[in-house]
Structure 1
Amino acid sequence: MNLFTDMHGLVIESLGRMQAEGTLPKGLAFDNVAVEPPRDPAHGDMATNAAMVLARPAGQKPRDIADALAVRLASDPRVALAEVAGPGFINLRLAPTVWQDVVRNVLGEGAGFGRPAAGGGRKVNVEYVSANPTGPLHVGHTRGAVFGDALANLLEYAGHDVTREYYINDGGAQVDVLARSVYLRYLEAHGQSVEFEDGTYPGDYLIEVGQALKDEVGEAYIDKPEADWLADIREFATGRMLDLIRDDLSALGVTMDRFFSEKSLYGTGRIEAALATLSDKGLIYEGVLDPPKGKMPEDWEPRVQTLFRATAHGDDVDRPVKKSDGAWTYFAPDIAYHYDKITRGYDALIDVFGADHGGYVKRMKAAVSALSDGRVPLDIKLTQLVKLYKNCAPFKMSKRAGTFVTLRDVVDQVGPDVTRFVMLTRKNDAPLDFDFDKVLEQSRENPVFYVQYAHARVCSVLRKADGAGITVDDATLEAADLSGLVHEAELTVAKKLAEWPRLVEVAARGHEPHRVAFYLYELASDLHALWNRGNDMPDLRFLQEGNAAASQSKIALARAVAVVISAGLGILGVTPVQEMR
Structure 2
Amino acid sequence: MNLFSDIRALVLDCLRAMQAEGALPAGLELDAVTVEPPRDAAHGDMATNAAMVLARPAGLQPRAIATDLAQRLADDPRIAAADVAGPGFLNLRLAPGVWQALVAAVLAQGDAYGRSDMGAGRRVNVEFVSANPTGPMHVAHARGAVVGDALARLMAFAGHEVTREYYINDGGAQVDVLARSAFERYREAHGLEPAIAEGLYPGDYLIPVGRILKDRFGDTLLERPEAEWLTQVREIATEAMMAMIRDDLAQLGVTMDVYFSEKSLYGTGRIEAALKRLTDAGLIYEGVLEPPKGKRPEDWEPREQTLFRSTAHGDDVDRPVKKSDGSWTYFAPDIAYHFDKIERGFDLLIDVFGADHGGYVKRMKAAVSALSDGRVTLEVRLVQLVRLFKDGQPFKMSKRAGTFVTLRDLIDEVGADVVRFVMLTRKNDAPLDFDFARALEQSKDNPVFYVQYAHARVASVMRKAAAAGAAVDDAALAGADLALLGDPAQIALAQKIAQWPRQVEVAARAGEPHRIATYLSELAAEFHALWNRGNDDPALRFLDEGAPEAELAKIALARATGVVISTGLGILGVTPADELR
Q: TM-score, normalised by structure 2?
A: 0.99
> 2:323 is matched by which residue type in structure 1?
K
**Shift of the alpha carbon at 1:542?**
0.6
The aligned residue for residue 139 of structure 1 is 139
CA separation in 1, counterparts of 2:449 and 2:579? 11
CA separation in 1, counterparts of 2:296 and 2:167? 34
Residue 330 (1) aligns with residue 330 (2): yes
> 2:306 is matched by which residue type in structure 1?
T
Instruction: Indicate if the aligned counterparts of 1:51 and 1:66 stay in contact, CA closer than 8 A.
Output: yes
The aligned residue for residue 37 of structure 1 is 37
**Shift of the alpha carbon at 1:26?**
1.1
Q: Which structure 2 residues correspond to residues 69-468 of structure 1 after superposition, within 5 A?
A: 69-117=69-117, 119-296=119-296, 299-396=299-396, 398-468=398-468
**Shift of the alpha carbon at 1:343?**
0.1
Deviations 1:207-229 (A, max 9, x none): 11111111111112011100110
**Shift of the alpha carbon at 1:22?**
1.3
Instruction: Indicate if the aligned counterparts of 1:131 and 1:141 stay in contact, CA closer than 8 A.
Output: yes
- What SS is found at the alignment partner of 2:552? helix
**Shift of the alpha carbon at 1:486?**
0.9
The aligned residue for residue 494 of structure 1 is 494
Instruction: Indicate if the aligned counterparts of 1:131 and 1:168 stay in contact, CA closer than 8 A.
Output: yes
**Shift of the alpha carbon at 1:117?**
4.4
> 1:23 is matched by which residue type in structure 2?
A
The aligned residue for residue 539 of structure 2 is 539
CA separation in 2, counterparts of 1:557 and 1:332? 56
**Shift of the alpha carbon at 1:298?**
6.2
RMSD: 0.9
CA separation in 1, counterparts of 2:390 and 2:297? 41
Instruction: Indicate if the aligned counterparts of 1:265 and 1:337 stay in contact, CA closer than 8 A.
Output: yes
**Shift of the alpha carbon at 1:300?**
2.4
Percent identity over the alignment?
71
- What SS is found at the alignment partner of 1:238? helix
> 1:421 is matched by which residue type in structure 2?
F
CA separation in 2, counterparts of 1:4 and 1:565? 19
The aligned residue for residue 485 of structure 2 is 485
Deviation larger for 140-149 or 299-308:
299-308
- What SS is found at the alignment partner of 2:129? coil
> 2:222 is matched by which residue type in structure 1?
I
Instruction: Indicate if the aligned counterparts of 2:399 and 2:406 stay in contact, CA closer than 8 A.
Output: no
> 1:5 is matched by which residue type in structure 2?
S
- What SS is found at the alignment partner of 2:132? coil
Deviations 1:57-104 (A, max 9, x none): 111110111111100001110000000011101000000000011111
Instruction: Indicate if the aligned counterparts of 2:397 and 2:409 stay in contact, CA closer than 8 A.
Output: no
Deviations 1:387-424 (A, max 9, x none): 00124321225331000011011101000000000000
CA separation in 1, counterparts of 2:122 and 2:27? 32
Instruction: Indicate if the aligned counterparts of 2:140 and 2:385 stay in contact, CA closer than 8 A.
Output: yes
CA separation in 2, counterparts of 1:392 and 1:179? 40
CA separation in 2, counterparts of 1:27 and 1:154? 35
CA separation in 2, counterparts of 1:435 and 1:165? 30
CA separation in 2, counterparts of 1:218 and 1:395? 42
Deviations 1:141-177 (A, max 9, x none): 0000000000000011111111000000000000000
> 1:547 is matched by which residue type in structure 2?
A
**Shift of the alpha carbon at 1:25?**
1.2
- What SS is found at the alignment partner of 2:483? coil
Instruction: Indicate if the aligned counterparts of 1:397 and 1:403 stay in contact, CA closer than 8 A.
Output: no
Residue 18 (1) aligns with residue 18 (2): yes
> 1:214 is matched by which residue type in structure 2?
K
**Shift of the alpha carbon at 1:546?**
3.1
Alpha-carbon spacing, 1:546–1:453, altered in 2? closer, same or farther (3 Å) = same
> 2:388 is matched by which residue type in structure 1?
L
- What SS is found at the alignment partner of 1:364? helix
Residue 530 (1) aligns with residue 551 (2): no
CA separation in 2, counterparts of 1:479 and 1:357? 54
CA separation in 2, counterparts of 1:262 and 1:121? 28
Instruction: Indicate if the aligned counterparts of 1:190 and 1:214 stay in contact, CA closer than 8 A.
Output: yes
Deviations 1:336-368 (A, max 9, x none): 000000000001000000000000000000000
CA separation in 2, counterparts of 1:301 and 1:397? 45
- What SS is found at the alignment partner of 2:482? coil
- What SS is found at the alignment partner of 1:427? coil
CA separation in 2, counterparts of 1:17 and 1:392? 60
For structure 1, the residue ranges without an aligned partner over 5 or more in a row are: none
Alpha-carbon spacing, 1:297–1:528, altered in 2? closer, same or farther (3 Å) = farther
Residue 578 (1) aligns with residue 578 (2): yes
**Shift of the alpha carbon at 1:119?**
3.7
The aligned residue for residue 59 of structure 1 is 59
> 1:178 is matched by which residue type in structure 2?
L
Aligned residues: 581
> 1:237 is matched by which residue type in structure 2?
A
The aligned residue for residue 473 of structure 2 is 473
Alpha-carbon spacing, 1:297–1:450, altered in 2? closer, same or farther (3 Å) = farther
CA separation in 2, counterparts of 1:229 and 1:150? 41
**Shift of the alpha carbon at 1:545?**
1.4
> 2:107 is matched by which residue type in structure 1?
L
For structure 2, the residue ranges without an aligned partner over 5 or more in a row are: none
> 1:552 is matched by which residue type in structure 2?
L
Q: TM-score, normalised by structure 1?
A: 0.99
**Shift of the alpha carbon at 1:129?**
0.2
Deviations 1:541-573 (A, max 9, x none): 111113322111000000000000000000000
- Runs of 4+ aligned residues of structure 1 deviating over 3 Å after TM superposition are none
Instruction: Indicate if the aligned counterparts of 1:204 and 1:399 stay in contact, CA closer than 8 A.
Output: no
> 2:470 is matched by which residue type in structure 1?
I
Deviations 1:468-499 (A, max 9, x none): 11111111001111001111100000000000
**Shift of the alpha carbon at 1:283?**
0.3
**Shift of the alpha carbon at 1:449?**
0.2
> 1:195 is matched by which residue type in structure 2?
A
Instruction: Indicate if the aligned counterparts of 1:36 and 1:48 stay in contact, CA closer than 8 A.
Output: yes
Deviations 1:224-269 (A, max 9, x none): 1001100000000000000000010011000111100000000000
CA separation in 2, counterparts of 1:407 and 1:22? 64
